[in-house]
Amino acid sequence: MIAIDTSILVYAHREDSEWHEAAYRRLAELAEGRASWAIPWPCIYEFLAIVTHPKIFTPPTPLARALDQVDAWTESPSLNFLAESQVHWDRLRGLLVAGKVTGPRAHDARIAALCLQRGVKQL
């Protein structure tokens, strides 16, 4: 299973991104395919925060359009959402210690721990 990171979600959504075509195509392949794929829940929250932020995009994506985009992804029958489980803290703690992670990189470690708990590769 492949997990999609926030950046890919943003690039696929924002037509003004120089990586839009490639990201859109890859996400469409996953969404329309039969193989299981995943989005970690924190990446959905981050996607919404980024694309609707007026200091990041001019103009930002209207909230209704961003929510519609998430709705469209949820329609894929092969999509799985990754959320914290009972083993999450052990995985996250191990990653934080092994990588000497501090500051904002802790969020990335959280995403990695979510993927590891399900044996998912991250894209």
pTM of the model: 0.88
Distance CA(61)–CA(75), nearest Å, equals 20
Band of residue 86 on the pLDDT scale cut at 50, 70, 90: confident
Structure tokens at 105: 């990189």
Nearest to 115 by CA among 99, 86, 91: 91
Distance CA(23)–CA(31), nearest Å, equals 12
Band of residue 121 on the pLDDT scale cut at 50, 70, 90: low
Question: pLDDT by residue (tens digit) across 46-83?
Answer: 999 999 999 999 999 999 999 999 999 999 999 999 99
Give all domains of the chain, ordered by start, each with its CATH number: 2-122 (3.40.50.1010)
